[in-house]
């Protein structure tokens, strides 16, 4: 009724929310490493603009632009509204920013950070390319005399640390974000299917949102809900709403769900869905 297609939350209990149709969709790594792990070889920091909420805050507009550009090309990223940015400021008004600018004067990445005692805590780290990422790490490295360790968060699929000479440091995998499709028909209609050479059929099981339950026909012309007996069972993919929600945002491929008995599907139909679904895994760094 409110036009909401998906719901994302930070659960107090994964099993509780799974029962009602949510499922995990993002694995993140919380890392901490000592400054001794920084290579002593000087890198190219390029041009870095430093500011905070009290001084030169007009640069915050560039930070928002970089974040928006990254979010729009990344599976599952939150589009931050002005209200959300204001919320971040109220939560950590002492945060500072480092903005990476390329040789053409274009912002390419940023970090939002705080200094807690002798720890450099990365709250946000967004880079549109590897040059900006290296520049931001060089910024942190050249200020290492002010702290003894660095902490932050990255996506598991980024293999954080593998680019370091000594990648063995503390990393903790955290699974604390869940997603649920609230309106399957509208979600599917807006979904960026890659290849639809033939019609796909999807049977959705959703005990707590009966408007989602049923069989959907999907092709290049759109999505329509059909009567179940109009299609043979071996022609459709069957999933409950929790598994379907995490699958469609790229958490795992369909073979994983099939192996774990979270999807009923023939090999032929599985391959058809595999070709149609984008392969990028999701990222989500919002806090509730």
pTM above threshold 0.85: yes
Radius of gyration of the chain (CA): 22
Burial class (CB in 10 A: 0-12, 13-18, 19+), 2: exposed
Total residue count of the chain as it appears in this document: 288
Domains of the chain, first to last: 6-24+179-276 (3.30.1050.10), 28-174 (3.40.630.30)
Is the Cα dihedral 279, 5, 155, 264 positive or negative? negative
Instruction: Quote the DSSP letter at residue 163.
Output: T
What is the reported pLDDT for 81?
94
Query: pLDDT tens, 153-196?
Result: 999 998 988 888 888 899 999 999 999 999 999 999 999 999 88
Tokens for 277, please give them: 């679904």
What is the reported pLDDT for 286?
81
Q: Is residue 241 within 8 Å of residue 21, measured between CB atoms?
A: yes
What is the reported pLDDT for 76?
87
Alpha carbons 274 and 268: distance in angstroms, whole number: 10
Alpha carbons 51 and 22: distance in angstroms, whole number: 39
Residue 18's H or E segment, with its range, is helix 14-19
Residue 89's H or E segment, with its range, is helix 82-91
Instruction: Quote the DSSP letter at residue 257.
Output: H
Q: Is residue 135 within 8 Å of residue 48, measured between CB atoms?
A: yes
Across the strands, what pairs with 117?
none
Please report, in tens digits, the pLDDT of each residue of the chain (288 residues total). 777 899 999 999 999 999 999 999 999 999 999 998 886 566 666 799 999 999 999 999 999 999 999 999 998 899 999 999 999 999 999 999 999 999 999 999 999 999 988 999 999 999 999 999 999 999 999 999 999 999 999 999 989 888 888 888 999 999 999 999 999 999 999 999 998 888 999 999 999 999 999 999 999 889 998 988 888 989 999 999 999 999 999 999 999 999 999 999 999 999 999 999 998 899 998 876
For 131-144, b where at least 16 C-beta lie within 10 A, e where not — what string?
A: bbbbbbbbbbbeeb
């Amino acid at each position: 009724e409110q036009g909401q297609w998906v719901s994302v939350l930070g659960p107090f209990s994964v099993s509780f929310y799974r029962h009602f149709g949510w499922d995990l969709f993002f694995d993140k790594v919380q890392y901490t490493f000592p400054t001794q792990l920084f290579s002593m070889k000087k890198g190219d920091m390029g041009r870095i603009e430093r500011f905070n909420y009290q001084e030169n805050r007009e640069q915050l507009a560039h930070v928002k632009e970089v974040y928006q550009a990254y979010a729009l090309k990344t599976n599952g990223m939150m589009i931050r509204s002005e209200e959300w940015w204001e919320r971040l400021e109220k939560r950590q008004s002492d945060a500072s920013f480092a903005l990476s600018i390329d040789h053409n004067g274009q912002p390419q990445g940023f970090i939002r950070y705080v200094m807690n005692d002798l720890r450099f805590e990365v709250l946000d780290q967004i880079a549109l390319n590897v040059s900006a990422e290296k520049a931001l790490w060089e910024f942190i490295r050249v200020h290492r005399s002010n702290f003894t360790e660095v902490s932050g968060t990255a996506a598991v699929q980024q293999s954080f640390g593998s680019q370091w000479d000594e990648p063995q440091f503390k990393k903790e995998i955290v699974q604390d974000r869940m997603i649920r499709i609230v309106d399957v028909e509208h979600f599917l209609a807006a979904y960026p299917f890659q290849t639809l050479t033939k019609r796909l059929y999807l049977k959705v099981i959703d005990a707590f949102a009966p408007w989602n339950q049923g069989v959907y026909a999907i092709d290049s012309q759109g999505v329509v809900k059909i009567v179940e007996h109009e299609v043979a069972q071996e022609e459709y993919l069957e999933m409950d709403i929790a598994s379907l929600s995490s699958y469609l945002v790229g958490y795992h491929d369909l073979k994983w769900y099939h192996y774990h008995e979270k999807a009923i599907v023939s090999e032929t139909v599985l391959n058809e869905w595999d070709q149609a679904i984008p392969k990028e895994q999701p990222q989500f760094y919002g806090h509730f």
